[in-house]
Amino acid sequence: MDFSLELSPDLIAVFLTLFVLELVLGVDNVIFISILSSRLPVAQQARARNLGLTLAMLMRVLLVFFAGWIITLTEPIVTLGELEFSVKDFILIVGGLFLVYKAVHEIHQKLEGAEEHHGPGEKVATATFGSVLVQILLLDLVFSLDSVITAVGMTSNMIVIIAAVVLSFGIMLFASRFIFAFVNAHPTVKMLALSFLLLIGVFLIAEGFHIKIDKALIYGPMAFAIFVEGLNLAAAARKRRRDAARSSGPVRLRPTYPAIDESVAVRAATSTDPGAGSVGLSGRPVAGTDAGGPDDRHGLG
């Protein structure tokens, strides 16, 4: 492996390509880690996310140093008819099956609401920190293996590969909290992410059986689905804003009465002519209706 660093347009292009590749795989990792860590108690979720991503980065860097050994994992060790399987193929098949199982299980949990309880009045059963971390590392191994083999096939410069890995994971580590909050705050986004993981699992199984599928056929529909979901979220947010504005709008006054000529009423009320129809108040007290009783009352009192 090469540890020299001589900047050239080709080397910069390789670095940018690896950086984008690591970001894409890093988003897959963050989504998977977010879904798994959401089953932990709230106090442990941030720790699981950060530790999972950090271990994933260290694992990928470590595998880069063993790139020469990693390449030997592509040599066939088992032959079944016309199919030849290497260690890499078995890792991809097992990892893909595990990803399909986890995605289907989580989709079932979300749709059926099958939250497990230990008993009446007890807390909902949650996964343990150790089990979640083991699952994260297993999937990180699958993603890392494919990523390292691709990286080594593009360049032998270790500094470029390690720099792309560390920089992309640094960004993912910073963004993981926001991705976690966004995915868990929107059920449709979480379901879409689980569907993506299911699709990636099927892709890994197919690759393990040497069925070549263009990655554009995977990430193209995923990008389109994300675009459509973005439109749905924007429309839902706009509807909420309209409903909020409608419910908290200004007080609307009742319609005013139509204009009428009040001069006749004013003249009748202010005229001193006895036949003008003015109303006056009498100075005499008003007698109560219970006159003669013990509590006779006179006047208005």
Query: What pLDDT does residue 189 have?
Result: 85
Residues 6+ away with beta carbon under 8 Å from 240: none
Structure tokens at 78: 């088992």
Put simply, whether the predicted model's pTM sits higher than 0.75 gets the answer no
Residue 41 lies in a domain: yes
Asked, for residue 278, whether it belongs to a domain, the answer is no
H helices of 186-290, in order, are 187-208, 216-247, 263-270
CA gap 217, 119 in Å, rounded = 46
Task: Determine the pLDDT at residue 148.
Answer: 77
Residues paired with residue 124 on neighbouring β-strands, in sequence order: 117
Residue segments in the chain with a per-residue pLDDT below the cut of 70: 1-7, 68, 71, 113-126, 248-266, 268-269, 271-301
- The verdict on residue 75 lying in a domain is yes
Q: Residue 61 contacts by C-beta under 8 Å, 6 or more apart in sequence?
A: 162, 165, 166
| Distance from C-alpha of 83 to C-alpha of 240, rounded to nearest angstrom | 55
Q: Is residue 156 part of a domain?
A: yes
Residue 226, amino acid? I
Total domains present in the chain: 1
Tell me the sheet residues that pair with 32.
Answer: none
Q: What is the pLDDT of residue 264?
A: 65
Closest CA to 197 of 129, 116, 67, 110: 110
Residue 176 within any structural domain of the chain? yes
Inside any domain, residue 44: yes
What is the model's pLDDT at position 140?
80
Q: Is residue 149 part of a domain?
A: yes
Strand partners, 78: 85
Range of the domain at 191: 9-116+125-213
Angle at 57 between CA 52 and CA 60, to 5 degrees: 120
Q: Report phi then psi at 94, rounded to 5.
A: -65, -45
* CB-CB contact of 137 with 55 (8 Å): yes
DSSP, collapsed to helix, strand or coil, labels residue 171 as helix
Alpha carbon distance 202, 23 (integer Å): 21
Spatial distance between the Cα atoms of 14 and 152, rounded to a whole number of angstroms = 11
Residue 176 structure tokens? 């993981």
Residue 267 in any domain: the answer is: no
- Model pLDDT for residues 33-68, shown as the tens digit of each residue: 888 888 888 888 888 888 888 888 888 888 878 876
Q: Which two tokens stand for residue 170?
A: 């640094």
Contact 218, 199 (CB under 8 A): yes
